[in-house]
Structure 1
Amino acid sequence: MFLPLSGLRVIDITSIIYGPYATQILGDLGADVIKVEPPEGDATRVLGPARNPGMAAVYLGSNRNKRSLVLDLKKPAAKEALWRLVDGADALVHNMRPQKMAAFGFDPDAVMARNPKIVYGGLHGYREDGPYAGRPAYDDVIQGESGFAGTFTARDGAPVLAPTIVADKSAALLASTGLVAALFQKFRTGKGVYVEISMFESMVGYTLVEHQSGATFSPPEGPMGYARALSRQRRPHATSDGFICMLPYTDKQWGRFWEMVGTPERSAEPRFESIAARSRNIDELYAIAGAEVIKRTTAEWLDALRAAEIPCGPVNTLEALRDDPQLRAIGFFRPFQHPSEGALEIPDSAFRFDRQSLPVRHHQPRLGEQSREVLREAGLSEAEIDAAL
């Protein structure tokens, strides 16, 4: 299978989740991703269950389709080895603070002077021209600063952190998009490009897609916050024996729902007669719907709602996902035999090309597993490799 980024080499100087998840996507798309790690390795190598030291579950989740090279960038020989890799690379991606990369000597100006055709990806916490530039940034902090946790305040009166590392992963998805676009620009123009993607600004924009609301206009045409998303009644609905999520949205869908529960006249009520009216009365709408849903079982509701073509689904636990009929039918959890970790299951990527899932071309590497291999490919002699390592 020919992959979109086949033949491209990416130097990946990233750690934790934000950077590694972004570069894993590049690897899934075919790039040769060289994961450059310090001697102690990526911090996620010790997070979560593990069969062997340095190969914990969190690390395994965002480092497939990569090769690992250990370099201590405090050593001159290691820096020289990295420069040799820069010479033949299509992209260099890091999520260190900019001043740390500059201290190592690998700031964008220096790298692009050495290789004018390289894409330099700076995955920063904050844009480098603002007063927050250079601050350390982690998911919990960015969820708070970006207003994401504050959406819970607007709804419930107190901030909450989502029980997933949503800032890291969302920013990583945007970063992978920006990096692919920069690579496309490089091949169209023949010149390298410096692309900066920052977690804070990414998550502010992400949160405000719907929540800028009335403040979209100057002067504002109403308050900030998308009413439907902030409704306290917007939640999984309790059935008589469990929970479902459902979303009648169009006039026809709500009409079918009201008929289903024996109150077709609600379609003509001014507060519910249109999508705009329902939006203004969303708390009442969802409260009435919830009071009806609890009268039947989960199975009864899913059958009835699907027959009426009203979007709906069960509320899966993490464990239930493994038995989801859709995921089982498409083979979403892909068996993979890792050379050191044994049998694994790898969730499929988001992409299919020509109806084929992207292959797992390379197992998640042990720390420094391909150090000598990668440096030989870069043209270093055995003596130079010994000095660099």
Structure 2
Amino acid sequence: MFELLKGITVLDLSTVVFGPFASQMLADFGADVIKIESPDGDIFRAAAPARSPRMGAGYLNLNRNKRSLSLDLKSAEGRAMLDRLVADADVFLHNMRPKAIERLDLGYERLAALNERLIYCAAVGFGSDGPYANDPAYDDVIQSMTGFASMNIDPAAEPQLLPTILTDKVAGLYALAGILGALLSRERTGRGMAVEAAMFESLASFMLVEHLSGHVFEPAEGTLRYDRLTSPHRRPHRTADGYIAALPYSTRHWVKFLRLIGRNDLADADWVCDASRRSERIGELYAVLAEATPARTSAEWLTEFRRLDIPCGPVNRLEDLLDDPHLAAVDFFQRVDHPTEGAINTVRQPLRFLGAPSHTDIPAPRLGVDGRKVLHEYGMDDATIDNLVAAGALYLPQEHDSSHE
């Protein structure tokens, strides 16, 4: 973790992937992220595999460098305690639907009255002004609604979901950008603000950067898709012993490749050497590439493409990433000794800040494990804390209670 956001306190009420993905990056940048969970904990804690209850692998990989405080926000005492934290916080992040946040009386207007410098980020499924605002939203639904599934079809022409939690992570990046932008604005104005990051709008924007295509113009010119990406020959290419990825992209790339395979007729063709005309017929060139690659092994092609400086790479399995020499060289995988889970592997923050002070990452916390320490920092004594535990407003793990480890 770095010290870029040292001194910034984030109250993170979010669960699953969307919000925690954004707040983990804030924590990696040095913010003090206090993960505020119900006594049942973030539901993603239960996602298998796990060595012990509430400490699943996905949770461990999304919540490093955070502290856990477990409050019952349905109780008046729990909400009053949260108000005390809000008064001194810099960022408040949640991923509840509008009606749920209203029931808890945790809307922006009330919290801003407690702290006018507060950056309030609502990480929601759908923008609050639209008809879907209170609909539940998960990755599978948003991938389908934004066109990903319909464009990612299998050989039987059935829509398919991408096998990753795409929406949450893309929207998490938008939420992170919004929070950082709002923090910078606050430095200039002294005032906080509300930020809304919506899954549906985020992924639709992400999808339409290139696929809005001819509909950028009014009236529309052409299709609502970027044709290069929808060519049936744009895929990993079969070789004599497997598959490779190769992408001749520029004129120089295509001319070198076409001369390599003896297609001087195409290498000298005017339309191939003109980027605009080539883009209109790119499917023809992809077909030539697909026809050529079975003649040599993957290793032979990769050697040739790299010699010609044509973008290429092997078609890896996920297992291959664990032994990838580049990832090993940049220390991408980190082994951490977790205080309760033993040795675990995780991936480091991919951003690097040269010259910035950094520290060893802190493993993801057990549910509520930092509660007493956090509340001490806010001026509460042990007697007050114990009373809150007795009232059910605060959950603190007990060493003998293995179900909460």
What's the TM-score, normalizing by structure 2? 0.92
Determine the structure 2 residue equivalent to 1:340. 340
Query: Residue type of the partner of 2:207?
Result: T
Asked if the contact 1:28/1:360 (under 8 Å) is kept, the reply is: no
CA distance in 2, matches of 1:2, 1:224: 42
Asked if the contact 2:64/2:363 (under 8 Å) is kept, the reply is: yes
Query: What is the CA-CA distance between 1:330 and the residue it aligns to?
Result: 1.2
Query: What is the CA-CA distance between 1:101 and the residue it aligns to?
Result: 1.2
Determine the structure 2 residue equivalent to 1:128. 128
Determine the structure 2 residue equivalent to 1:225. 225
Is 2:282 aligned against 1:282? yes
Query: What is the CA-CA distance between 1:154 and the residue it aligns to?
Result: 11
Stretch deviating more after TM superposition (148-157 or 60-69): 148-157
Asked if the contact 1:11/1:92 (under 8 Å) is kept, the reply is: yes
SS in 2 for 1:352: coil
Query: What is the CA-CA distance between 1:357 and the residue it aligns to?
Result: 9.4
SS in 2 for 1:15: coil
CA distance in 2, matches of 1:359, 1:151: 43
Query: What is the CA-CA distance between 1:173 and the residue it aligns to?
Result: 1.0
Matches within 5 A, 1:301-312: 301-312=301-312
Query: What is the CA-CA distance between 1:156 and the residue it aligns to?
Result: 7.8
Asked if the contact 2:3/2:357 (under 8 Å) is kept, the reply is: no
Query: What is the CA-CA distance between 1:125 and the residue it aligns to?
Result: 0.6
Query: What is the CA-CA distance between 1:291 and the residue it aligns to?
Result: 1.1
CA distance in 1, matches of 2:139, 2:200: 10
Asked if the contact 2:239/2:293 (under 8 Å) is kept, the reply is: yes
Matches within 5 A, 1:59-138: 59-138=59-138
Determine the structure 2 residue equivalent to 1:51. 51
CA spacing shift, 1:179–1:339, aligned 2, 3 Å = same
Stretch deviating more after TM superposition (264-273 or 204-213): 264-273
Query: What is the CA-CA distance between 1:382 and the residue it aligns to?
Result: 2.6
Provide, for residues 181-202 of structure 1, a one-character-per-residue CA deviation record: whole Å limited to 9, x for no partner.
1111112111111011100001
CA distance in 1, matches of 2:313, 2:44: 33
CA spacing shift, 1:98–1:384, aligned 2, 3 Å = farther
Matches within 5 A, 1:1-389: 3-152=3-152, 157-354=157-354, 359-386=359-386, 387=388, 388-389=393-394
Query: What is the CA-CA distance between 1:356 and the residue it aligns to?
Result: 6.8
SS in 2 for 1:70: strand
Asked if the contact 2:125/2:198 (under 8 Å) is kept, the reply is: yes
Identity of aligned residues (%): 45
Where structure 2 has 5 or more consecutive residues not aligned to the other structure, the ranges are 395-405
Asked if the contact 2:244/2:298 (under 8 Å) is kept, the reply is: yes
Asked if the contact 1:348/1:357 (under 8 Å) is kept, the reply is: no
Query: What is the CA-CA distance between 1:316 and the residue it aligns to?
Result: 0.8
CA spacing shift, 1:292–1:326, aligned 2, 3 Å = same
Asked if the contact 2:2/2:357 (under 8 Å) is kept, the reply is: no
* Number of equivalenced pairs: 389
Asked if the contact 1:234/1:286 (under 8 Å) is kept, the reply is: yes
CA distance in 1, matches of 2:87, 2:81: 10
Query: What is the CA-CA distance between 1:349 and the residue it aligns to?
Result: 1.3
CA distance in 2, matches of 1:382, 1:102: 32
Where structure 1 has 5 or more consecutive residues not aligned to the other structure, the ranges are none
Query: Residue type of the partner of 1:384?
Result: T
CA distance in 2, matches of 1:207, 1:271: 29
Asked if the contact 1:240/1:294 (under 8 Å) is kept, the reply is: yes
What's the TM-score, normalizing by structure 1? 0.96
CA distance in 2, matches of 1:326, 1:245: 17
